[in-house]
Amino acid sequence: MPVDFFGAGSVERSNGLVDGSRGLVLNVQAVHVLRYLLGFFHNLLSLQFALLLFQLSLNFLKALLRVDLRLGHLR
């Protein structure tokens, strides 16, 4: 009986049945691609969230500076 060690394709057995190893390999590859894409989008969203927090903190500091300047002008 031939053995497919590397999962390169389906192996026909001596009784004429085809081993489904190729489908298994494709499923494993699909899972790896899906995990890669999910990781990529997770990193992208994390970066976007970090940039949003940075922008909000800058706006907050600008507002504090404006208030400080206004109070300094009143003195």
Q: Which residues of 12-48 are buried (b: 16+ CB within 10 A; e: fewer)?
A: eeeeeeebebeeebeeeeeeeeeeeeeeeeeeeeeee
Per-domain residue ranges of the chain: 22-74
pLDDT in tens, 35-73: 999 999 999 999 999 999 999 999 999 988 887 777 766
Q: Is the pLDDT of residue 13 over 60?
A: no
Q: What's the whole-model pTM score?
A: 0.48
Dist. CA 65–CA 59, nearest whole Å: 10
Dist. CA 47–CA 64, nearest whole Å: 26
The predicted pLDDT at position 27 comes to 78
The model's confidence at residue 3, banded by pLDDT at 50, 70 and 90, is low
The predicted pLDDT at position 1 comes to 47
Dist. CA 71–CA 6, nearest whole Å: 74
Higher pLDDT, 57 or 30: 57
